[in-house]
Amino acid sequence: MDRVPQAEVPAVQDEGPLQGVPQALRAGAGGIRGLRQLIRRHGRALEADLRREYGVRLRDLYTGNLTWRELASYVLGLSPTSATRTALNGGTVEPTGEQIILADLFDAVTTHDWHFAQANADDKKAKPKKPKPYPRWWITQPSRKNSPERLAKLDDARRRKRAREQAIAEGRIA
């Protein structure tokens, strides 16, 4: 009688964080810990989404009718317009695939029109301006207002101003 090779029994779930959970939904943690943080921070939005999209109640998690693994699967499957994902993005709704494609299509058509107008424009007249891209509200532009370089320059200017005011007060300069 041959013995069955004894190997480690594979876990139902990988060790460590859930694989594929978006960083925003993981909140820097994985598995149950990340889901608990999500419930703590955005419980009402998550509860509404679970009820609306899956007909599941969040309280089922504590009654045993819903497992942590099922909850993770439901969270992963939430639509981009769900209240939970909107709350995770600071109140900004994620764009749908259609919105992204339409914005790209708009840019392609307007750029094509501009190229056509450039090629057929009279040399004696002003050339048409390049079209502005479609505004993509889902992409945050880097703020020059609070850039580290700008803040460093402001701090340096404030320091020079204080030094000058002090020198004037002491009578070193007029």
Confidence (pLDDT) at 20: 33
Confidence (pLDDT) at 125: 86
Confidence (pLDDT) at 57: 93
Confidence (pLDDT) at 12: 41
Helices (H), 9-147: 23-26, 31-49, 60-63, 68-76, 83-88, 97-120
Confidence (pLDDT) at 95: 86
Q: Is 131 left (phi over 0), alpha (psi -120 to 50) or beta?
A: beta
What is the helix (H) or strand (E) element at residue 159, kind and residue range?
helix 148-170
Q: What is the pTM of this model?
A: 0.53
The mean pLDDT values, 10 residues at a time, for the chain of 174 residues are 48 37 51 89 93 92 90 90 87 86 95 92 87 86 76 92 92 83
> Please, what's the largest Cα pairwise distance for the chain?
104
Confidence (pLDDT) at 146: 76
Confidence (pLDDT) at 115: 93
Confidence (pLDDT) at 74: 92
Cβ burial, residue 34 (10 Å; 0-12/13-18/19+): buried
